[in-house]
Amino acid sequence: MIKEEMLNKKVWAVVGATPNEEKFGYKIWKILLDHGYETYGVNPNYDFIHDERVYPSLKEVPAKVEVVDLVVPPKVTLGVLDEAKELGIEYLWFQPGTFDHEVIEKAERLGFKILYNDCVLATLMKRKRK
């Protein structure tokens, strides 16, 4: 199952990470960290979330990202697809509200392993923390 494959990967990037603790971009970033994932925030509008560095793009992340979790509008997501493909990233998790028909079609055409209509936050909240 693609979901388990993704959850077994250890290096994640959250595109749309934010220091605003009320937003899903923060909650998802934080729960991944809390569950022991090596997690990188990606958002050109911030330099840090708490003491953790945030990167302006996937290209700037100083690690080989295995899974990208998207928490941005579909228009932004479309642009991220090209960057992820260029970097050789295989797995994309589209949070609710981050995709539309065009996004899914392009992701499939580019050969990504994708998951949508599911939430990593809800999934990890059901699991025990490490």
In a domain, 92, yes or no: yes
In a domain, 72, yes or no: yes
In a domain, 76, yes or no: yes
pTM recorded for the entire structure: 0.96
Number of structural domains the chain divides into: 1
Q: Which domain holds residue 69?
A: 2-125
State pLDDT tens for residues 49-108: 999 999 999 999 999 999 999 999 999 999 999 999 999 999 999 999 999 999 999 999
The residues, any chain, with a CB within 8 Å of residue 4's CB and separated by 6 or more, are none
So what's the pLDDT on residue 129?
54
So what's the pLDDT on residue 127?
81
Find tokens 């055409």 and name the residue.
109
H-helix or E-strand containing 104? helix 101-109
Q: Look up residue 94 and give its DSSP letter.
A: E
State pLDDT tens for residues 17-27: 999 999 999 99
pLDDT at residue 113 greater than cutoff 90: yes
In a domain, 130, yes or no: no
In a domain, 66, yes or no: yes
In a domain, 8, yes or no: yes
- Apex CA 80: angle with CA 65 and CA 23, to 5°? 85
CATH code of the domain in which 26 resides: 3.40.50.720
| 104 token code pair | 């899914």
| 86 token code pair | 């260029």
Q: How many CB atoms neighbour CB 68 within 10 A? A: 26
